[in-house]
């Protein structure tokens, strides 16, 4: 995303006042567009109006005067040219259901949420297609840490759907694993091996669901995986790190203070992989720790066990 203003200003709505939604809203506002940031918290909205920053999720980052916080969904979306949806996956369908009847026919819908819907295993673009089939639809994914975007660091992203979305959702599982590995003091070599196996594992799963394996060699795959698995700015990495330090899952989530999509994604992916017979030893090991209360020490040593040939998954993908 550049800061050059190309064409006439657009009216943009961003649904969700978390760190990533706020960062994207601010980029659009800085580029001269009229931006409404919809959120549920009246206190958060007042902080933005009076202090010019999202003090809860992006403290210390000044927001553009073109960004207006709103609490009313109709006010946010009714005349928008484009609506970005940045709410957690578990609330995604409900929010979109409320928003769609309020949209203009030309309004485009773009998901910023990297997750999978609980129960249905639907991706966010699939939910948008379900609820708004007449609208242009896409999603944003890639190595995009919200605080670095807010700090105007150079970033690259992908706008597409399905395979890109699967990559963005799946990598959160492996960020938890690498955070846990870091807390346990595993060496850089070990963590590099875990990330390599993670890429093979997530692509293996996605290909079985119909994705193109080449997607995982680009920004939305290996790019996003690397940054999420190596940065303490990543919520999922921090959840894993805190669990590795001895916190319970509930304590770790509370310390992070924001939604870590990888927790719910892990449960759904484990169930789907078991159902389809997909080999995913890393995800299975993490599932045993988080959902079956298996001792970390007992499972950690098994995370790198298994068939080494599975590390070169792309060799058998017909590429």
Which CATH number is 163-316 given? 1.10.1040.10
Q: Look at residue 248 in the predicted model and tell me its pLDDT.
A: 92
Q: Look at residue 133 in the predicted model and tell me its pLDDT.
A: 96
Q: Look at residue 155 in the predicted model and tell me its pLDDT.
A: 87
Across 53-66, b (16+ Cβ under 10 Å) vs e yields bbebbbeebebbeb
What is the architecture, at CATH level 2, of domain 11-160? 3-Layer(aba) Sandwich (3.40)
Give percent of the chain above pLDDT 70.
92
Q: Look at residue 306 in the predicted model and tell me its pLDDT.
A: 59
The residue extents of the domains of the chain are: 11-160, 163-316
Residues annotated as part of the active site: 171
Encode the chain (319 residues) as per-residue pLDDT tens digits.
Answer: 444 445 689 999 999 999 999 999 999 999 999 999 999 999 999 999 999 999 999 999 999 999 999 999 999 999 999 999 999 999 999 999 999 999 999 999 999 999 999 989 999 999 999 999 999 999 999 888 898 989 888 888 888 767 788 999 999 999 999 999 999 999 898 889 899 999 999 999 999 998 888 888 888 899 999 999 999 999 999 999 999 999 999 999 999 988 889 999 999 999 999 999 999 999 999 999 999 989 988 787 666 665 555 555 554 444 3
Q: How far apart are CA 272 and CA 259, in angstroms?
A: 22
Q: Quote the tokens at residue 35.
A: 């931006």
Q: Walk across the sheet containing 11-15 and list its strands.
A: 67-70, 34-38, 11-15, 82-85, 108-111, 137-141, 158-160
Across 159-198, b (16+ Cβ under 10 Å) vs e yields ebbbbbbbbbbbbbbbbbbbbbbbbbebeeebbebbbebb
| Nearest partner of 262 among 177, 161, 156, judged by Cα | 177
- pLDDT per residue as tens digits for the range 188-236: 988 898 999 999 999 999 999 988 888 888 888 999 999 999 999 999 9
């Amino acid at each position: 995303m550049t800061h050059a203003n190309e064409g006439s200003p657009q009216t943009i709505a961003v649904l969700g006042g978390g760190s990533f939604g706020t960062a994207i809203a601010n980029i659009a506002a800085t580029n001269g567009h009229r931006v409404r940031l919809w959120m549920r918290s009246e206190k958060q909205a007042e902080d933005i109006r009076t202090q010019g920053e999202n003090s809860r999720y992006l403290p210390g980052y000044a927001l553009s005067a073109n960004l207006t916080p709103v609490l009313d969904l109709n006010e946010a979306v009714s005349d928008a040219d484009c609506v970005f949806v940045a709410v957690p996956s578990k609330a995604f369908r409900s929010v979109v259901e409320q928003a769609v009847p309020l949209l203009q026919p030309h309004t485009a819908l773009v998901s910023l949420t990297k997750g999978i819907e609980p129960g249905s295993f639907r991706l966010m673009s699939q939910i948008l297609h379900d609820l708004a089939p007449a609208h242009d639809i896409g999603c944003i994914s890639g190595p995009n840490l919200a605080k670095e975007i807010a700090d105007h660091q150079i970033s690259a992203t992908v706008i597409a759907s399905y395979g890109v979305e699967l990559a963005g959702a799946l990598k959160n599982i492996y960020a938890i694993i690498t955070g846990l590995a870091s807390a346990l003091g595993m060496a850089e070599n070990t963590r590099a091996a875990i990330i390599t196996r993670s890429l093979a594992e997530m692509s293996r799963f996605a290909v079985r669901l119909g994705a193109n394996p080449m997607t995982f060699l680009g920004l939305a795959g290996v790019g996003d995986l690397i940054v999420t698995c190596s940065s303490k700015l990543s919520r999922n990495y921090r959840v894993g790190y805190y669990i590795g330090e001895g916190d319970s899952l509930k304590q770790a989530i509370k310390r992070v203070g924001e939604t870590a999509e990888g927790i719910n994604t892990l449960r759904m992916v484990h169930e789907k992989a078991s159902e389809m017979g997909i080999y995913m030893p890393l995800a299975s090991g993490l599932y045993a720790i988080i959902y079956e209360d298996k001792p970390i020490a007992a499972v950690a040593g098994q995370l790198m066990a298994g068939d080494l040939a599975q590390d070169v998954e792309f060799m058998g993908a017909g590429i």
